[in-house]
Amino acid sequence: MKSYRIFFVTIITFFSLTISFADNLPLYDNGILTLPSVDSPDKPGEYQDATFEYTEQDGWQLLGFKNGRLLNILTEVSTGIENVEIIKTDTFPTQVFLKVTVTLLNESLMGQIRYKLTGNMFEVFMYYSNTPCVCTSNIGMTFAKIIPLNIYSLKKGDYEYSVNGNFTGSFSLAEDNEL
C-alpha cells in the first residue's frame, strides 16, 4: 500500500513539472482516475495510461499502467523516425518547432510526445501508441509531426535538443525571449 502512495506522489510531482500537450489531460470518471502519461525522473512519458481507483480504506490504488515504447530509428526493416529538422521563426517573441518525419504502418500508431527542459537541453520523447492498430497494409506511410518547444521566457543563449536520444541539434536565441 505504501508503495502505491509513493508512486502516486511521484506521478503528481513529475506530471506537474514536465510540459504536456493539451490532448494528454488526466480524466476522472466513475471513480477511476486515468493519467495518460506518467514521468520517471529520466524519461517523460515512460509510463502511460495509468489508472487509479480511490478507496475509503486505502486511498488511491494503482489499477494498472503500460510501459511507453519509444519510436525506433527508421531502418530498411523497421518503421520509425526518419529525420528531424528545426523551424525557428523570425518574429518576436521567437518560436521554435521540431519537424519530425516519421514512417509508420498507420498514423494511428503514433503515440504520445513528451519533453522536458533540463538546463539548456530539450529532451523529446516520441512513443508508439498503446492502442492496437488495425493496419491494412505492410507499407509504411510517411508523415511529419510538428512539435512546438516552449521557449517563451528563455534567456538568450544556445540551446540543444535531442529526439529519442538519437537525433540532436541546436538553436540560438539572440535575445531574451519575452515581451
Q: DSSP label at 133?
A: P
What pLDDT, in 10s, does the model give residues 57-97? Answer: 888 999 999 998 888 876 655 678 999 999 999 999 999 99
Q: DSSP label at 42?
A: S
Quick one: which H or E segment has residue 8? helix 2-17
Rounded Cα–Cα distance for residues 128 and 91 (Å): 34
Contact 131, 104 (CB under 8 A): no
Contact 143, 161 (CB under 8 A): no
What pLDDT, in 10s, does the model give residues 118-144? Answer: 999 999 999 988 776 666 666 678 889
Q: Enter the pTM of the model.
A: 0.76
Q: Is 40 left (phi over 0), alpha (psi -120 to 50) or beta?
A: beta
Rounded Cα–Cα distance for residues 39 and 72 (Å): 20
Rounded Cα–Cα distance for residues 133 and 109 (Å): 6
Rounded Cα–Cα distance for residues 1 and 120 (Å): 38
